[in-house]
Amino acid sequence: MQIKTIGVIGAGQMGNGIAHVCALAGFDVSLNDISAERIEAGLATINGNLARQVASGRISEDQRNAVLASIRATENLEDLADADLIIESAVEDEDIKRQIFAKLAPIVKDSVILASNTSSISITRLAAATLHPEQFIGIHFMNPVPVMELVELVRGIATDDATFTAVREFVSELGKTIAVSEDFPAFMVNRILLPMINEAIYTLYEGVGTVEAIDTAMRLGANHPMGPLQLADFIGLDTCLSIMQVLYEGLADTKYRPCPLLVKYVEAGWLGRKTQRGFYDYRGETPVPTR
């Protein structure tokens, strides 16, 4: 299997980053989303990130122009028909992801490799929603994709060796480092990271410390580059909650119970940076803690 053309479904925070790194590595990319507005926003983000890379000397202006020329925007899944690899990067909702793969079934070629950028959902279950589960794999990029070096590769129970080998070579061409995870809830990174974030939210919920105190303690006391509540806002509190729910339901252990305060923030629509409010309020010049 040789991968030359890439389809990316979802032009949001993760999807536009995946399209960016694929095009920068020389692949032809089709970037799909449900509306022109979403795609335009994704392309604007790519353009801005490329401009920063040019300014820092990491890439040339010619490379930037080549990347932008290599990405085709489309609202139609039919335009992904010739893709060798399609990476789904939609919202972290299993039903929505399964619907996407069901829609792709009559469109794609028989040899296509289908992948999900899910950060927590079972690859084996998602593969079962496709016609060729042996050609399905998890490719979990880290956020922000153009900056972070790691990619988790996750084989479902049916994923065959040819699919794994082709995708491993593809990720290597992106210049990323691969960590192979078994198909268990939240894989490796988020199984370790999200319970820590959830515990930080419990620490806030129980009044042990303020938002600022908790983040300062972990930045300076554990040498973390970003405090856990600041990181939760960056990830998106809805995504944090989804991953904790997957862990709680999949492993049936009370230590993974989502903190009620996290649930309350999500119910309020305070999802972090993307909605301008989460554990911090981002509407002013500098972020201000909301608790």
| Residues assigned a catalytic role | 119, 140, 152, 190
85 in Cβ contact with 41 (< 8 Å): no
Alpha-carbon gap, residue 258 to 282, rounded angstroms: 24
CB neighbours of 120 closer than 8 A, spacing ≥ 6?
92, 185, 186, 187, 190, 242, 243, 246, 247
Alpha-carbon gap, residue 103 to 136, rounded angstroms: 15
Within 206-259, where are the H helices? 211-221, 228-235, 237-251
- How is residue 13 written in tokens? 């925070």
Task: Give the bridge partners for 115, in sequence order.
Answer: 87, 137
123 in Cβ contact with 159 (< 8 Å): yes
CB neighbours of 34 closer than 8 A, spacing ≥ 6?
75
20 in Cβ contact with 145 (< 8 Å): yes
Count helices and strands (H / E) in the chain.
11, 10
Q: Tell me 109's DSSP state.
A: -
Task: Give the bridge partners for 74, in sequence order.
Answer: 32
**Total residues belonging to the chain:** 291
Residue 115 belongs to what H/E stretch? strand 113-116
Residue type, 274: K
- How is residue 6 written in tokens? 């890439």
